Amino acid sequence: MFLLFYTATFETGLPGQYENFTKMEIEIITEQLELDVSGFSGIAQNKNYAGTAFALMDKIWPVIKSKNLKHKGLNIWIYEQREKVFAGVQLEDPALTGTGLERKIILLSKYARYKHIGPYSGLKQAGDNMRNEIYKLGLNPGLPYIEIYGHWTNDESKLETALLIAIA
């Protein structure tokens, strides 16, 4: 396994102001990752990715509860080409049939990973910053782009989300 730890600093204040900044530590990973996710897919109309993913999640949880499906407790959103969005969870037994859920297996051989800590409203900017830094490394970010949401807390400053971007 090869891990490249890369740190970049971004200014989030006005030009010339350095008191507001965010440190971003991006890992470039070349060990294969397999994600086996069960959920639903849809197309983000008018590029409304979040709205689409929330609507898909609203369909998933009634199925999981009614069928008493055991899962790992993390919501996973997968963004693909042509505005396709897949939202789901990792089931304890992903081979179960008759659940009514779609199954998606993602294999990444090279990808960037960043752990975002803070409000979900900062995820789009964090993803954009990641892509920019990947380009600066001379690499090509691709799809899928994946958000793995950690366990919920009422303190938004402590929310954790893993961001993964495929490297072409």
Residues 12 and 59 in one domain: no
Residues 89 and 138 in one domain: no
Instruction: Indicate the residue among 62, 90, 105 that finishes a domain.
Output: 105
59, 81 in Cβ contact below 8 A?
Answer: no
As for how many domains the chain has, the answer is 2
Instruction: Indicate the residue among 55, 79, 105 that finishes a domain.
Output: 105
- Spatial separation of the C-alpha atoms in residues 88 and 9, rounded to whole Å: 32
Residue range 96-139, pLDDT digits in tens? 888 899 999 999 999 999 999 999 999 999 999 999 999 999 99
What integer is the mean pLDDT of 155-166? Answer: 97
Measured from the Cβ of residue 112, the count of other Cβ atoms closer than 10 Å reads 24
Strand, coil or helix: what is 103? Answer: strand
Instruction: Indicate the residue among 74, 105, 136 that finishes a domain.
Output: 105
Q: Does 14 have pLDDT greater than 50?
A: no
Q: Does 15 have pLDDT greater than 70?
A: no
pLDDT of res. 95: 80
Q: Among 22-31, 33-42, 134-143, which stretch is predicted with the lowest mean pLDDT?
A: 22-31
160, 117 in Cβ contact below 8 A?
Answer: yes
**pTM, 2 dp:** 0.86
Residue 139 is part of which domain span? 3-31+109-167
Separation in Å, CA 145 to CA 121, 156, 162: 17, 22, 11
